[in-house]
Chain A
Amino acid sequence: MKTNRKALAALSIFAAGSLALTACGGGSGDSGSSSSSQGGTDSSAAATSAIITTNGTEPQNPLIPTNTTEVGGGKIIDLVFAGLVAFDAKGEPQLDAAESIEPNADNTVWTIKLKAGQKFSDGSAVTSDSFIDAWNYGANIANAQGSSSFFENIKGYSADAKKPVEKLSGLKKVSDTEFTVDLSQPETNFKLRLGYSAFVPLPKAAYGSDGKITKAFGEAPIGNGPYKLASDTAWTHNEGIKLVKSDSYDGIRKAQNGGITITFYTSQDSAYAAVQSKNGTLDILDQVPPASFATYESDFADSNVNQPAAIFQSFTIPQYLDHFKSDTEEGQLRRQAISLSIDRATITDKIFSNTRTPAKDFTSPVLSGWDTWGKNLAGNEVLNFDVTKAKELWAQADAISKYDGDFTIAYNSDGGHKEWVDAVTGMISQNLGIKAEGKAYPAFKGLLDDEKNNKMTGAFRSGWQADYPAIDNFLTPLYSKTGGSNYGRYDSAAFAEGMKAAAAAKTPELAQAEYDKVQQTLLKDLPAIPLWYSNVQSVWDPALKNVQIGWNSVPLYYAITK
């Protein structure tokens, strides 16, 4: 027994020594694998302390929620802040900071109650004022916040730069955990809108002595979300940002990992190379680059996803083009003929390797219940491929008034649109026997300028990525008369009335019935020709667990473990 023990002791010393030696060797040679093997042996601690690495893009602006309108900054804002509502993987709204959100009978007054005891990561309390002050700041035109128009339906909002409003009259504090919102127009989907990142609360520390959000806050924001910045200098511009778990958050999105490190890659291709090395450099890539569409499913056999995103793509034929006015019989016939002459399935298969899904309506399959209302709308036959019918309708239109123009689809050549534009115009040209071709603008801003000034001489590519998963978010900006992105200048009374009726509807079912009618109007008028929905293709290191991609194509980072 004794000798045995001695032998054991000697053995263990020897073992310890050799371990130390290998540790040294490992340290200099391959630190990546040694750290991952540590993770393997001590999984209970590693599960909650592991840092997940992912890709992103440099935020265009300082990290102020109401001034962040693009995905690069939005991804970070969503992790650092918690709004009243958060969306689960299916796009269903779940209460996050809110205890309850209740409308009155006609959806014009919303009462919001907050969960008690919530804190920002600096320890200050989350109160009604945290929301009211942040929203007032975002809505105030004098602060030139990019998301200002998201507040336009709240009473007191002013878009006039000469008459800035500091306090929206529609925001009323009831207590520290309750406030009400008065809307100018009824809005059924206001609860969904509250899930957008512009509606998060801000702590007192955000504002400087002049009442403006400070530069320092934009560099290192303090939020109430599942993560916080690792330090005041965690954001290294153009390189990446380091987020760590925030212990002050105790909501439905509680972090199951130790933190998220977001690296801004110079190209999606380099990010794809990094995620392929599967050594922790990049654990999850939220969008596979086009060059790897053909191979990602074999490179990541058990750790990839290809699912619809909240992105709708189309091309718009402006109303000011002769022969194409939606409110004339000739215009409707021509628009329908063009839509029928496009073989969407072939293009999504051959050009996009099935990373797009042919469109069935004007929204996106990520919306909740889309399978029941969006897929089988009456009148969506116009989105099928039917050459005979297309020719017939075009001939009917020609009988009304002869068309001998050159049909063009304008696109920006810095965005990878050439291939599909050439395919679509090729089909139109072949199937209708007219001249049709793409028209390239070197950069997006040049195209946008001509769109805004009604200078387009043909159709142009268009599309929409939703801010929050609601039908009206897809329809209002693009097709309502005052919509911010209605560059086709579509103006339809039937559309306007339908949207109004839906917004004031008593129940979600009644609202849906109205939205269906609105979409049927759109299918008849075709202000834009729907093409397809984008899918999102994500890949990740097979060592990750619980990977789910949200409705907005961003992984639900808080749930991921490794």
Chain B
Amino acid sequence: MLWYIGRRLLQLIPVFFGATLLIYLMVFAMPGDPIAALFGDRQPSPEIIAQLRAQYNLDKPVIVQYLIWIGGLFRGDFGTTYSGQPVSAVMAQAFPITARLAVLALLFEGVAGIAIGLVAGLRKGKIFDNTALVVSLLLISVPTFVTGFVLQYLFGIKWGIISTTVSGAAPWGELIVPAIVLASVSFANILRLTRASVAENMGADFVRTATAKGLKRGRVIRVHILRNSLIPVVTYLGTDLGALMVGAIVTEGIFNIHGVGGTVYQAVIKGEGPTVVAFVAVMVIIFMLANLLVDLLYAVLDPRIRYAK
């Protein structure tokens, strides 16, 4: 087991270097001069642009730029944005906010999705099941920004229950509604996944055996049906974390959340290499750790799965 975890953690290293180099190359390959673009329609003299390019090492070959960035990384320096802020400061601002948002969204979609999916699966074909199916279909087909605007208008502007936009510090309370919006599509997917999996396991041999053995229904559901049904759901939750990290751009835009998604988007548009790479590198690591956690959870959920080496 420890061997397995160690090996997986070691894999992070080549992936980290590969991913960052690739992203650096891609940002660099985008057409246009990012420094000139900062000035919009009003261009300063070429000499000034040249000086600024030198200041951000943009006059050097891309591989040298990358090595300078990696070199800085070992000294704890993630580089600077084109507005002169350290990238580490921007990350320290954006990641905690996105983390809070993602945790709330994961909680919502995990708890509500699994619970409703379980009940729907157990009562397959009944009215509750059919309602859940229709509602989830609706949620999947309605784009996030529609859900976002509708909830914002009703709760924020019309009834004044929540603050319409999230303040700079983005406390937990203000992020609840945005998290529900963000999680709505995944919630519907998890609901359907759990329902299908539970419905399938209901007819499985081990469930019939357990029931025949005289086990209480609650225990059959908890230990035999639910536990076995969770493997695809956990896989989905693991991959969804990545989507929650960057895919929140729309939700961030609607509710004024200064999170990772919007920051990365802006940096890509501006061609701000160090920012993009630093953010994506951290996201790659989070994504890989989440996947490792998912794989470990398999072993917990299904004792037949063992990670020997």
Contacts and interface: CB of A to CB of B under 8 A. Distances in A.
B80 to A, nearest CB: 12
B42 interface: yes
A149 B82 contact: no
Contacts of A237: 85, 89-90, 93
B253 A452 contact: no
B235 interface: no
Given A270-B255, A273-B152, A276-B164, A448 B37 contact: yes
A149 B45 contact: yes
Interface string A230-257: 0000001111100000000000000000
A444 B37 contact: yes
Contact of A449 (B32, B51, B152, B156): B32
Contacts of B255: 270
Contact of B42 (A160, A267, A485): A485
Given A266-B252, A484-B43, A443 B164 contact: no
Given A266-B258, A279-B160, A148 B31 contact: no
Contacts of A448: 32-33, 36-37
A69 B48 CA distance: 13
A141 interface: yes
B90 A144 contact: no
A484 B42 contact: yes
A236 B168 contact: yes
A271 B52 CA distance: 33
Contacts of A477: 42
Interface string B27-60: 0001111101111111111011011100100000
A206 to B, nearest CB: 16
B157 A276 contact: yes
Contacts of B89: 237
Given A141-B45, A146-B48, A445-B271, A265 B37 contact: no
A86 interface: no
B274 interface: no
A277 B166 CA distance: 13
Contacts of A464: 41
Contacts of A62: 83-84
A263 interface: yes
B269 interface: yes
Contacts of B262: 266
Given A266-B256, A274-B164, A485-B43, A161 B30 contact: no
Given A141-B48, A443-B269, A464-B41, A270 B253 contact: yes
Interface string B244-271: 0000000011111110001100000111
B83 A446 contact: no
B122 to A, nearest CB: 40
Given A61-B83, A238-B90, A277 B33 contact: no
A59 interface: yes
A281 interface: yes
A443 B30 contact: yes
A449 to B, nearest CB: 4
Interface string A106-146: 00000000000000000000000000000000000100111
Nearest to A291: B149
Nearest to B42: A69
Given A271-B256, A445-B31, A448-B32, A485 B82 contact: no
A60 interface: yes
Q: Residue among A62, A448, A477 with the most chain B CB within 10 A? A: A448
Contact of B31 (A277, A279, A446): A446
A281 B163 contact: yes
Contacts of B38: 60, 70
Contact of B253 (A148, A269, A274, A279): A269
Contacts of B43: 452, 484-485
A146 B253 contact: no
Contact of B258 (A239, A445, A465): A239
Interface residues of A, number: 58
A238 B256 CA distance: 11
A270 to B, nearest CB: 4
Interface string A5-34: 000000000000000000000000000000
Given A59-B83, A144-B51, A270-B255, A445 B33 contact: yes
A238 B42 contact: no
B168 A240 contact: yes
A277 B51 contact: no
Nearest to A71: B40
Interface string B127-140: 00000000000000
A442 B265 CA distance: 13
A70 B90 CA distance: 21
Contacts of A442: 30
B211 interface: no
A146 B163 CA distance: 39
Given A148-B45, A270-B256, A448-B33, A161 B50 contact: yes
A477 B252 CA distance: 37
A333 interface: no
Given A273-B152, A443-B269, A448-B37, A60 B82 contact: yes
Interface in A428-479: 441-450, 452, 462-465, 467, 477
B157 A277 contact: yes
B165 interface: yes
A153 B157 CA distance: 52
Nearest to A145: B48
A159 interface: yes
Contacts of A444: 32, 37, 40, 269
Contact of B168 (A145, A147, A161, A263): A263
A178 B55 CA distance: 38
Interface in A145-172: 145-149, 159-161
Nearest to B32: A445
Q: Residue among A144, A149, A263, A449 with the most chain B CB within 10 A? A: A144
Contacts of A263: 168, 256
B39 to A, nearest CB: 6
Interface in A166-197: none
A161 B12 CA distance: 46
A406 interface: no
Nearest to B256: A270
Contacts of B160: 277, 279
A286 interface: no
A542 B55 CA distance: 47
Nearest first, the 8 closest Cβ-Cβ pairs linking A and B are A445-B32, A445-B37, A239-B168, A446-B31, A270-B256, A161-B47, A267-B253, A446-B32
26 contacts: A60-B38, A60-B83, A62-B83, A69-B44, A70-B40, A144-B52, A148-B48, A149-B44, A160-B47, A237-B89, A238-B263, A263-B168, A263-B256, A265-B165, A267-B254, A267-B256, A273-B164, A276-B164, A277-B164, A281-B164, A443-B269, A445-B31, A445-B33, A445-B34, A449-B33, A452-B36
Interface of A: 58-62, 69-70, 141, 144-149, 159-161, 215, 218, 236-240, 263, 265-267, 269-271, 273-274, 276-277, 279, 281-282, 414, 441-450, 452, 462-465, 467, 477, 484-485
Interface of B: 30-34, 36-45, 47-48, 50-52, 55, 82-85, 89-90, 93, 152-153, 156-157, 160, 163-165, 168, 252-258, 262-263, 269-271
